[in-house]
Amino acid sequence: MQLKIAGVCSGTQFRFKAICPTALSSFSSSTVESTSGAACSATQNQTFFFAKNSSTTGNSAPVVDTNTIPQVGNFVFSNNTGATPLSDGFVKITAGSVAQIATGVVTAITSCGTSLTSYSSSSVGVFNNVCAVDGSVFPINQTFHHDGSGSNPAAGDHCYSDAGGTSPLPAGYYQLQPSSTGAGNRTYLQITGLLGQVAASFPQTC
């Protein structure tokens, strides 16, 4: 490990402690699935590995967390040396919960068996067409489903074309609210990536 630290004031002090390399902790998992529903239905027949965090702060010596399965913020890998991060998707980590992985890090843990919420939407399109003034190009005539807590999807929620959560919506723009007075009152959401996740720009008006 090589560190370069710049001190902006005289007398700057710091300390660090490097823990010697050791094999990462293992956990039982399913294969990486594209949806949380598929992961919930999968069998835990894989062994993956994760790096535990430390919750200590300040001048206290770092103490490694004691969790035995990954938690949000942990890095996850397919080998015990941390050389190969797990690919994006969902893995089953207990009989009733799945972990979502993005760029090799656990970003969320959700319970299986949670029913999805249906909502009305247009089909997918580009921004200019979804925001057409008269709604004739992309009318709100579709019923989709999301895993959020609100009536409509919010940033970070995942959207699916089926109630079982097995088919994520493709990336693009979707109109949620029609308008009789013009495009400015139309509400849309943007979905990015391959997992049907709503981008942080939601909600916006056209």
pTM for the model: 0.58
Q: Could you please report the per-residue DSSP string of 96-130? A: TEEEEEETTEEEEEEETTPPPEEEEEPPPB-HHHH
**Residues 174 and 130: beta-carbon distance below 8 Å:** yes
Distance CA(157)–CA(168), nearest Å, equals 11
Could you tell me which residues come within 8 angstroms of residue 29 by beta carbon, excluding any fewer than 6 positions away? 44, 46, 47, 48, 91, 92, 93
**Residues 72 and 106: beta-carbon distance below 8 Å:** yes
pLDDT tens for the chain, residues 1 to 206: 677 877 777 777 777 767 677 899 999 999 999 888 889 889 999 999 999 988 776 677 778 888 999 998 899 999 999 999 999 999 999 988 899 899 999 988 887 876 789 999 989 988 777 776 555 667 888 999 988 888 888 888 888 888 777 678 888 889 887 655 555 567 888 898 777 888 865 556 66
**Residues 197 and 158: beta-carbon distance below 8 Å:** yes
Sheet hosting strand 75-77, strand order edge to edge:
25-29, 46-51, 75-77, 105-111, 97-102, 89-94
Q: Of 186, 176, 185, 184, which is closest to residue 141 (Cα–Cα)?
A: 176
Q: Say how many C-beta atoms besides its own lie within 10 A of residue 68's C-beta.
A: 11
